[in-house]
Amino acid sequence: MARTIGSHGPKTMEAIRKAGLRLIFEHGYAAMSLRQLAAEVGIQSGSLYNHISTKQELLFVLVRDHINELLRQLDRALQGKQQPADKLRAFVAFHVSYHMTRKREVFIANSELRSLEPKNYEEIVALRGAYERRLAEILTEGVAEGEFEVVDIQVATFAILSLLTGLTAWYRPGGRLTKEAIVAAHEKLVLSGVAPGAKPDQARSSRAPFADIAARDGSES
């Protein structure tokens, strides 16, 4: 018989969320069952319905809360930033730092988007769009003020987000580079990519500082 930790209250719901996150990440949404989830939490299967009505609801809540938290923390990171370059640097630093510590949430939000029912899918896509617009607005402002040179704002937005989010596929804590060095490398990539009139010799000369960072910080990405 499952070890019962109580079928009511916020502690149990938090346990359900954590267990659901891990099980979906490890096995996939389709393969995870509510019976498996209940056993992981330590409650009877029927007790799950005191907190979630369906497996679909759990997935939706996990993804929705992840993106809402992403938006909340991003807005806080951008507070007080006036110049487009400062805003873009803050965006990159936040996005990279956040995604270093939320691998499961990021993976599920991306890979299981297809598993959401139409109404839930539309709501999540709208939230993702709000996050993308934060970056697009920074780029648009930078172009208007002559700080950035961007051929297409939408293409640049998607390309930058893909670059920054891609670290979840290879980043491992305790590696060769420190977190600070990884953030600095991404800042350099993004800011140099939108800088107006960047010359090839300037790009070549920018490699040396990061060789120094890699040697000095000694961590593996």
**Digit-coded pLDDT (tens) for 144-193:** 999 999 999 999 999 999 999 988 888 888 888 899 999 999 999 999 99
Contacts of 146 (CB under 8 A, 6+ apart): 196
DSSP 219: B
What the block records as the tokens of 172 is 């491992």
**pLDDT given at position 91:** 98
**pLDDT given at position 152:** 96
Contact predicate 89/138, CB 8 Å: no
- Cβ-based burial of 24 (10 A; exposed 0-12, middle 13-18, buried ≥19): buried
Domains, the chain, in order of start with CATH, read 1-53 (1.10.10.60), 55-217 (1.10.357.10)
What the block records as the tokens of 141 is 């402002």
pTM for the full predicted model: 0.79
The SS3 call for residue 176 is: strand
C-alpha distance from residue 36 to each of 8, 32, 88, 212 (Å): 19, 7, 43, 49
What the block records as the tokens of 216 is 């000095």
The arithmetic mean of pLDDT across residues 61-80, rounded, is 95
pLDDT bucket at 203, cuts 50 / 70 / 90: very low
pLDDT at 210 over 90: no
CA atoms within 13 A on the CB side of 92: 27
Per-residue pLDDT reduced to its tens digit, 4-16: 444 456 788 889 9
Q: Distance (Å, rounded) from C-alpha 138 to C-alpha 6?
A: 47
pLDDT at 19 over 90: yes
How are the residues of the chain apportioned to helix, strand and coil, as percentages rounded to the nearest 5?
75, 0, 25
Q: What are phi and psi of 23, to 5 degrees?
A: -70, -40
**pLDDT given at position 198:** 54
pLDDT at 2 over 70: no
What the block records as the tokens of 96 is 């990279």
Q: Distance (Å, rounded) from C-alpha 15 to C-alpha 88?
A: 36
Question: From the CB of residue 16, how many other CB atoms can be counted at a distance below 10 Å?
Answer: 23
Placement of tokens 């209940």 in the chain = 38
